Amino acid sequence: MSRPQNYFTELSGIPVHYARPPVAPYATRGRSYRFYCLEAFEQKLAACFEELWQVCPYGQAEVITSAGAYVNKAGYHGLGRGFDLDAIFWPDKDFITLDYPSNPVFYLGIEAIIRRHFGTVLGYLYNRAHHDHFHIDDGSSVAFSRTSKSRVLFLQSALTHVFAEPVLIDGIYGNQTSTATYKILNDIGLSGDLEDDALWSQFLLSISESAFGQALPELSPPEILRNLYTTIDTELADSESRKRIETVLNVFVDHEQTQEWLGTFE
154 closest CA partner among 197, 190, 124: 124
Coil, helix or strand at residue 249: helix
For Zn ion, which stretch binds (CB under 5 A), given 40-48, 134-142, 219-227, 237-245?
134-142
Q: Whole-angstrom Cα distance, residue 101 to residue 123?
A: 12
135 binds Zn ion (CB under 5 A): yes
Q: Whole-angstrom Cα distance, residue 253 to residue 262?
A: 9
Least Cβ distance, residue 48 to Zn ion (angstroms): 15
81 binds Zn ion (CB under 5 A): no
Q: Cis peptide before 22, with omega less than 30 degrees from 0? A: yes
Task: With CB under 5 A as the rule, give the number of residues binding Zn ion.
Answer: 2
Q: Nearest 10 degrees: CA dihedral of 129, 82, 7, 11? A: -80
Identified binder of Zn ion from the candidate list 84, 86, 132, 165, rule CB under 5 A: 84
Alpha helices in the chain (DSSP H): 39-55, 104-117, 149-157, 175-187, 197-213, 221-235, 242-254, 256-263
Q: Using CB atoms, what's the residue nearest to Zn ion? A: 135
Least Cβ distance, residue 203 to Zn ion (angstroms): 25
116 binds Zn ion (CB under 5 A): no
Q: Which is nearer to Zn ion, 42 or 84 (CB)?
A: 84
Least Cβ distance, residue 86 to Zn ion (angstroms): 11
Least Cβ distance, residue 81 to Zn ion (angstroms): 10
- Binding residues for Zn ion, rule: CB under 5 A, are 84, 135
